[in-house]
Structure 1
Amino acid sequence: MRYYVSLMNYASTTGDVAPMLSPTATICKQCKGYANYVAEVNAANGGLTGDYFERVNDVPDLFRGDGGRVGGYALVTIGAYTSKDSPSAKPVTSPVQRYKREFTLLKQHGSWTMAAMSLVAQ
């Protein structure tokens, strides 16, 4: 999970979502939604400023599911940041927030891929 979060942070910084999508299963709609958003709104084009990084504090729970899937959650913190959906859009400020990042991993071609994820405010 820490590795995937680092790929998400890279995508948020650069707008380059290819590294994040590489270990993503085709069924992960939430992953694609996140990738589509940060491809358009990212730090490189001025859409994100501040401490927008997601930081993994702990991964306290993992479990085996059906079909060889692994699920769990990570406790994460996202810093205070400002986002703008377009250069002329009004900035939206988000405070520091703690979340539970729930996820499901699926083994494909010998590697674990992100199959589902969600962010739940704590």
Structure 2
Amino acid sequence: MTNRNRQPSLLLTCLTTAVLTAACTSGSPEAGHPDTAPPPSSSDTSESTPSGSPSSTPSAPASAPPTRPAAADGLTLGAAEAFYRYYIDLKNYAAATGDTAALLSASESGCEGCNDYAQYVAKVNEANGGISGDYRERVKDVSQLVRGSTGRVGGSAVIAVGTFTTKNSPTSKPIISKPAEYTDTISLSPKGQNWVMYEMLFEER
């Protein structure tokens, strides 16, 4: 769901790119795609649901947040990609329900992009009529995950959404967003034995 990234995105574009790029160095021996390809997740549906058209039969919001898949456990690069796909599922769940607890639990407390997104969908979501249509984010590609000297992993992903409508309040005029693709620049940090989202920045392609 990218409406938050179109309206409060001005906040995110002010984030220094150094926060994200400091997590990685091109000389890292683990640069590039992870060795382990994660299993398909519910966020990875770009082939079954084209980004250029809304879903004809949108599913009802889930009653419980997605659970972290086994592939996302650990601190390998393969686990980093699996975690990112899982994180997109958490974002979609939050946008559907307004429940941001699981999303924030998988984020660093200081992640500005994460907090901005959570604050927006807590107020504007499918459950309260604020969002409708094909708003769910779909991961089309995750590329160049790199582990840096700080222990964090940095990289980017291509995200697609379809046509969806948002209303910031029950009386506000609906805003129709057209299908689009975004580059999501991300940084993950280790927390215990697993990855969490350290920072994220969306830019329209």
TM-score bin, normalised by smaller chain: over 0.9
Counterpart residue identity of residue 90, structure 2: L
Instruction: Please show how residues 9-48 of structure 1 align to structure 2 within 5 Å.
Output: 9-48=92-131
Q: Which runs of 4+ in 1 moved over 2 A?
A: none
Match of 2:176 among 82, 88, 93: 93
Shift of 1:66: 3.6
Q: CA RMSD in A?
A: 0.8
Structure 1: segments with no counterpart, 5+ residues:
none
Match of 1:81 among 137, 140, 164: 164
Greater share of strand: 1
TM-score by length of 2: 0.58
TM-score by length of 1: 0.97
Counterpart residue identity of residue 104, structure 1: S
- Higher normalized contact order (CA 8 Å, seq sep 6+, divided by chain length): 2
Partners of 2:177 and 2:149 in 1: how far apart?
Answer: 37
Partners of 1:116 and 1:47 in 2: how far apart?
Answer: 26
- Identity percentage of aligned residues: 46
Partners of 1:68 and 1:60 in 2: how far apart?
Answer: 18
Segment of structure 1 superposing worse, 46-55 or 60-69: 60-69
Please say if 1:114 is aligned against 2:197.
yes
Structure exhibiting the larger radius of gyration computed from Cα positions = 2
Shift of 1:65: 2.2
Partners of 1:27 and 1:115 in 2: how far apart?
Answer: 8
Partners of 1:27 and 1:15 in 2: how far apart?
Answer: 20
Partners of 2:201 and 2:141 in 1: how far apart?
Answer: 16
Structure 2: segments with no counterpart, 5+ residues:
1-83
Match of 1:6 among 89, 96, 100: 89
Q: Which residue pairs with 2:145 in the alignment? A: 62
Counterpart residue identity of residue 113, structure 1: V
Partners of 1:35 and 1:88 in 2: how far apart?
Answer: 22
Figure out how many residues of one structure are paired with residues of the other and give that number: 122
Shift of 1:12: 0.3
SS in 2 for 1:25: coil
